[in-house]
Amino acid sequence: MYQQEEITGSREQEENEIKEKIICCGIQVNCNDKKHNMLERVEKYIDQAKDELNNMGKDMDLLVLPEQFVQLPETAEYYKEPYGITEMYVEAGVDGLDSDVKRKHKDEFRDWASGIAKKFNTNLVAGSYPYVDKNGKIYNRSLVIDREGKIIGKYDKIHLFDAFNVRESDIFTAGNELGIFDLDIGKIGVWICYDLRFPEIARALRARGADMFVVPAAFYKPHREHFDILVKSAAIMNVTPIIAVNQCGMLINNSQRGFVGGSVILDAKGARRSVNHVEDVNDIDYKYQDNKEKDEKGEYKIDENGLENNFAEKDDENMEGYILGEIDKNFTRISREANPEYTNRRIDLYKEWL
C-alpha cells in the first residue's frame, strides 16, 4: 500500500508535470440522513482530505463521490422528503409539490456540486443523483465538473440493477451514451456501479482513449468479493488505472441490506495506490468488531495499529471517510508498452464469435 509520503508532485512543479501525477480523492459514506446533512457530512470529509494534502504541499486533482449518496429511494421514504427534485422536474409542473418545495430544491444538487469543485479547485465526478427530465423520466446521472465549477458533461447509468431481487428499472430509465470526458488531467471514462459487471463498457472507453476509469457505486452486500474483483479486473484487462468509490453501512430502514465499502484507487496493473482514512459512524452496527476484545467499560480496545487505521480490508464495509492516492500517467504508458493487450486483440475473430 502507498504511504502518504509517496504521493509526489508539488505546487511549485511545472503544470504539465503536475498533470502527469494526478492526486485523487474519494469520499466513502453511508447514506443514512437527510439531504442537507449528507451534503454537509461529505463536505466535512473533503475538507479533511484537502487539509491533509495542504500539509503535504499537494493539490487535489480529482474528487469522486459515491452513487446516489445524497438520497436513496429508501431514505426518501423514511424521511418523507421529495425524491429526485431537479430544475427539469420543476419545469414539468409535478403535481403535489407546492411552490416553496419547488423553489427550495431547484438546482440544489447541481449548484452544490459545482460549488464544491470551484471551492476545492478540483475536477469532480459528483457520484450520481436522480435527475428527472421534463417528461418525468428519472435517470441515475453522474455529473462531471471541472475546477472552475463548469459542468463538462453527464453520464446516465446504462445497465440498471435488475438483479438479486432488486429492480432499479422500476424507478430509473437507462441511459444510452458512453461517459468519456476531457479534463485538464486527461481523458476519463465514467460508469456507475452495476455497469462494472459488463466489460464492454470499460473496453469501449479504453477504445476511445480513456486515461483512467472512474466508478461511483452503491454496491450491495454481501458481494464484496465481486466488487473487489470486478474493479481490479477492469484495471488489469484494460491496463488502465481506476478509482472506484462506494457507499458503506446499512440502509437506514432495512437492516438486511447495505453496501460493501471497498473504495479504492488502483494503477494500470491493478495494484492498490490509495491510503484510506475513516471514522466511526453513529448508529451503524460494526459486525466485524464482534470478536474484538472490550475493556472494562465495554468499549472496544484499540490494537497496536489503531481501530481506525487504514481500511484496506473488509473492515471498511461499515466505516466512512476518505481515500487519497496518486495516478501516474507515465506508469500507465510504460505498462501499456510492456503489455500491449489493446493492439493484440483479435477483433476479426471476436466479430465472428459474437
Q: Is the pLDDT of residue 301 over 90?
A: no
Q: Exposure string (b/e) for 195-221, b if CB count within 10 Å is 16 or more? A: bbeeeebbeebbeeebbbbbbbbbbbb
Structure confidence at residue 141 as a pLDDT band (50, 70, 90): very high
Residues 269-287 as b or e (16 or more Cβ within 10 Å = b): bbeebbbbbbeebeebebe
C-alpha–C-alpha distance, residues 333 and 326, integer Å: 15
**pTM for the structure as a whole:** 0.83
Please check whether residue 324 lies inside any domain of the structure: yes
Nearest to 46 by CA among 130, 112, 2: 112
At 9-55, the pLDDT tens digits run 444 444 444 579 999 999 999 998 999 999 999 999 999 999 999 99
Would you tell me how many other CB atoms lie within 10 Å of the CB of residue 18? Answer: 19
Mean pLDDT for the chain overall: 83
294 is a domain residue: no
- Contact in structure between 247 and 281 (CB atoms under 8 Å): no
Specify the number of domains making up the chain: 1
Residue 303 is assigned to a structural domain of this protein: no
- Residue 221 belongs to what domain range? 21-282+309-353
Q: Does residue 296 lie within any of the structural domains?
A: no
Does 11 reside within a domain?
A: no
Task: Answer yes or no: is pLDDT of 88 > 60.
Answer: no
Burial code of 224-237, b = ≥16 C-beta within 10 A, e = fewer? Answer: beebbebbbebbbe
Does residue 300 belong to any structural domain of this protein? no
Question: What are the pLDDT digits (tens) for 271-298?
Answer: 999 988 866 554 433 332 333 344 454 4
CATH number, domain with residue 65: 3.60.110.10
Cell of residue 81, nine digits: 422528503
pLDDT at position 19: 77
Tell whether 292 is covered by a domain: no
